[in-house]
Amino acid sequence: MAEKLTCRLAVLVSGNGTNLQAIIDSIAAGEINAVITCVISNQPNAFAMQRARQHGIPTVIHENIGFADRRAYDAATVEILRSHQVNLVVLAGFMRILSDVMVDAFPHAIMNIHPALLPAFQGLHAQRQALDYGVRFSGCTVHFVDGGTDTGPIILQAVVPVDQDDTEETLSHKIQHEEHRLFPTAVKLFAEGRLQVTGRSVRILP
Ligand code: GRF
């Protein structure tokens, strides 16, 4: 029988990198047949970069300096990703909106995690939006990235209850707990070739 190919990931970050850590741990535990070829940050001081270095993962600081526009920046990102022969791009707290240059280069191969139950509360401060709206439940969503902001085909979701005493901080904490389980699961499904996208719908194959 032919040996299964190892999925080659790139993780794009801007901040703390707890989701990156969850994926690193899941690969190290042998739960995902994948290798993180590089971690790319637009923020040189992102703590996520320290996490990557600690695990011997190559890092690339890719600041938005000297690029004419978003598409030019993304063209440079695509070059980095191609040079690492990446199969799946994972946005783990990457605080930039992607242009068509990135989205078209990796169709149905860019995943994002959003701290709300999409399509509710798209964009920034999703936890604040959920509290302000008064919903009883929120959660997180892993989705493929398309041309919009937080609009692509949904892969997995997890629900958390919103309690009346929740603050933005406590709700974020509860959501992150679920994120750290959900994101590695979605990456695993992709690595196993079990995500079939038809239009907006993502079918999980057995
Ligand atoms: C997560 O809450 C995710 O939902 C959002 O950005 C945050 C990143 O957190 N897109 P971390 O850097 O992985 O800790």
**Whole-prediction pTM value?**
0.97
Active site residue 114: yes
Pocket test for ligand 1, best of 179, 181, 182 (most atoms within 8 A of CB): 179
> Which 8-state DSSP code applies to residue 67?
-
Extents of the domains making up the chain: 7-204
Q: Which residues line ligand 1 (CB under 6 A)?
A: 15-20, 48, 92-93, 113-115, 140, 176, 179
* Cβ atoms of 79 and 52 closer than 8 Å: no
Class of domain 7-204: alpha beta
pLDDT 10s digit of each residue in the chain, 206 long? 566 799 999 999 999 999 999 999 999 999 999 999 999 999 999 999 999 999 999 999 999 999 999 999 999 999 999 999 999 999 999 999 999 999 999 999 999 999 999 999 999 999 999 999 999 999 999 999 999 999 999 999 999 999 999 999 999 999 999 999 999 999 999 999 999 999 999 999 99
DSSP conformation letters of 116-139: S-TTSS-SS-HHHHHHHHT-SEEE
